[in-house]
Chains A and B, each alone.
Chain A
């Protein structure tokens, strides 16, 4: 337990010290690069904005991610169970995934004028459903026929086979994809927050730091984003332990 918490904290301290040293040794002013010692003041001054922004970023990311899980699983199931659907959808999905999502921000902004929350959630969804769909699709289509046959030979329904075998067997792949998706959804949310005018969330706070040439604030936002990203990621790890812990082999 001590090692599990102590080692990462120590690594964080070493990182901050190295960062501080880098700035001090080079004598950079804070408009080139702020140092960790500049940050507490920024947090203290804008604490309320940080709380508000973090909450807005967090809930919109999670909402987008939940949509991505639902949409991705449905798509993955369609692709996993039907070869035709798989052949039809795969190139479309790959093509869509290859589009830089920044180019979609103005498109969405025009489609849903003024719907900031909706646009942001939608972007988080669009950027993160792909890995989930692919992993669920592959997990289902590569299910060994023998696994299906154990239940099929007893006359079990397709639904029973899905619920008792296909779904749990796909969970490790699903959580692997969810770890990628959670970071992507987070990036999607921030993208909209930073690019669109009058945005909300931590992204908008970053933008206002930039507008006001408040460099310590910009760095403080980046650190806050990193912390939020870590929280989200470990939230997924925690869920994985609960639902797919069996796939993790005990060490040693």
Chain B
């Protein structure tokens, strides 16, 4: 039985006027069904390229991306995406924004069922009562909650999160982590989360994958050995502290610096 997401030795380069710019060079990653993989790495190391490959928006130069054992060659409706920018449609209400994927994936689904499904999720993330507001009337954190609802409204197998909490302030971000944790209890997706925040990766991830600097390869994989139902407090306990320390060291290596240089 293969893992739901299997990325094997993927290589990819962008064409630029100055010649090919390799961004991924030997990236391997495997996420079992229902698991949550957090991917961390230095800035500009090709993490967003990874999301586009998994979504089928791009094909790698070499190597393979498989979902359920079959190669990803084009976009498929069993994927949901959320980005750092919530990209809500300003002309639609929050409710109609969340419904949008259903219009594509389930064109014959009755409006009543779509609304019921969207309301279920909006309720879960604490946006009940805001469904008729426009995106511009909501705070950044609330918009990101709506964006998460839209990403999973069509019950995708794979949820791709490209730094969705990156632009939020610290406390809002921690709230969103807990919302994400609660969503996982209800919704059976398998997730890849791209992030710059090590605490986020440890709080949400079942495994944390550290990528090397560009061109990125898999440098280190950490199994997060913490209980599934985590509270923010857990980040302040010794076990999480050790993991964070270990990940920080790996990032330092990925940036091509030794511990001594960092200290200086």
| Interface of A toward B, CB cutoff 8 Å | 144, 146-147, 149-156, 160, 164-165, 168-169, 171, 244, 246-247, 249
B55 touches A149 (CB 8 A): yes
1/0 per residue B97-125: CB within 8 Å of A? 00011011100000000000000000000
Give bound CA distance, A249 to B90, whole Å: 11
B56 touches A153 (CB 8 A): yes
B100 touches A164 (CB 8 A): yes
B90 touches A154 (CB 8 A): no
Residue of A nearest to B86 (CB): A146
Residue of A nearest to B84 (CB): A146
Task: Give the contacting residue for B89; candidates A153, A156, A169, A244; CB below 8 A.
Answer: A169
Residues in chain A near residue B136, CB distance under 8 A:
249
Task: Give the contacting residue for B79; candidates A144, A154, A160, A169; CB below 8 A.
Answer: A154
Task: Give the contacting residue for B103; candidates A164, A168, A246; CB below 8 A.
Answer: A164
Residue of B nearest to A245 (CB): B91
Give bound CA distance, A247 to B136, whole Å: 10
B89 touches A165 (CB 8 A): yes
Task: Give the contacting residue for B75; candidates A152, A169, A247; CB below 8 A.
Answer: A152
B32-86 with Cβ < 8 A to chain A: 52, 55-57, 74-77, 79-81, 83, 85
Residues in chain A near residue B77, CB distance under 8 A:
154-155
B105 touches A154 (CB 8 A): yes
Residues in chain B near residue A164, CB distance under 8 A:
100, 103
B81 touches A150 (CB 8 A): yes
Task: Give the contacting residue for A155; candidates B52, B76, B100; CB below 8 A.
Answer: B76
A246 touches B87 (CB 8 A): no
Residue of A nearest to B103 (CB): A164
Residues in chain B near residue A246, CB distance under 8 A:
90-91, 134
The list of the 10 closest CB pairs from A to B, nearest first, reads: A246-B91, A155-B75, A153-B55, A156-B104, A146-B87, A154-B104, A153-B81, A154-B77, A168-B91, A153-B75
Contacts A147-B87, A153-B55, A154-B105 supplied; 13 other A-B pairs, CB < 8 Å: A147-B89, A150-B87, A151-B101, A153-B56, A153-B81, A155-B76, A155-B104, A160-B104, A165-B89, A169-B89, A169-B91, A246-B90, A247-B91
Shortest CB–CB separation between residue A43 and chain B, in angstroms? Answer: 44
Indicate whether A154 sits within 8 Å of B154 (C-beta atoms), given known contacts A149-B57, A160-B104, A164-B103.
yes
| Interface of B toward A, CB cutoff 8 Å | 52, 55-57, 74-77, 79-81, 83, 85, 87, 89-91, 100-101, 103-105, 134, 136, 150, 154, 160
A151 touches B104 (CB 8 A): yes
Count A-B contacts at CB 8 Å.
61
Residue of B nearest to A157 (CB): B104
Task: Give the contacting residue for A146; candidates B83, B90, B100, B105; CB below 8 A.
Answer: B83
B79 touches A150 (CB 8 A): no
7 A-B pairs (CB sep. < 8 Å) = A144-B85, A147-B87, A153-B55, A154-B77, A155-B77, A164-B100, A249-B136
Shortest CB–CB separation between residue A204 and chain B, in angstroms? Answer: 43
Residues in chain A near residue B160, CB distance under 8 A:
153
Residues in chain B near residue A171, CB distance under 8 A:
91
Residues in chain B near residue A247, CB distance under 8 A:
90-91
Give bound CA distance, A246 to B135, whole Å: 10
Residues in chain B near residue A146, CB distance under 8 A:
83, 85, 87
Residues in chain B near residue A169, CB distance under 8 A:
89-91
Shortest CB–CB separation between residue A169 and chain B, in angstroms? Answer: 7
Give bound CA distance, A151 to B79, whole Å: 11
Task: Give the contacting residue for A154; candidates B52, B75, B83, B134; CB below 8 A.
Answer: B75
Residues in chain A near residue B81, CB distance under 8 A:
149-150, 153
Residues in chain B near residue A244, CB distance under 8 A:
91
Residues in chain B near residue A151, CB distance under 8 A:
100-101, 104
Residues in chain B near residue A153, CB distance under 8 A:
55-57, 75, 79-81, 160
A150 touches B100 (CB 8 A): yes
Shortest CB–CB separation between residue A83 and chain B, in angstroms? Answer: 15
Shortest CB–CB separation between residue B84 and chain A, in angstroms? Answer: 9
Residues in chain A near residue B87, CB distance under 8 A:
144, 146-147, 150
Give bound CA distance, A144 to B160, whole Å: 18
Residue of A nearest to B101 (CB): A154
Residues in chain A near residue B83, CB distance under 8 A:
146, 149
Shortest CB–CB separation between residue B221 and chain A, in angstroms? Answer: 26
Give bound CA distance, A33 to B196, whole Å: 72
Shortest CB–CB separation between residue A226 and chain B, in angstroms? Answer: 34
Residue of A nearest to B134 (CB): A246
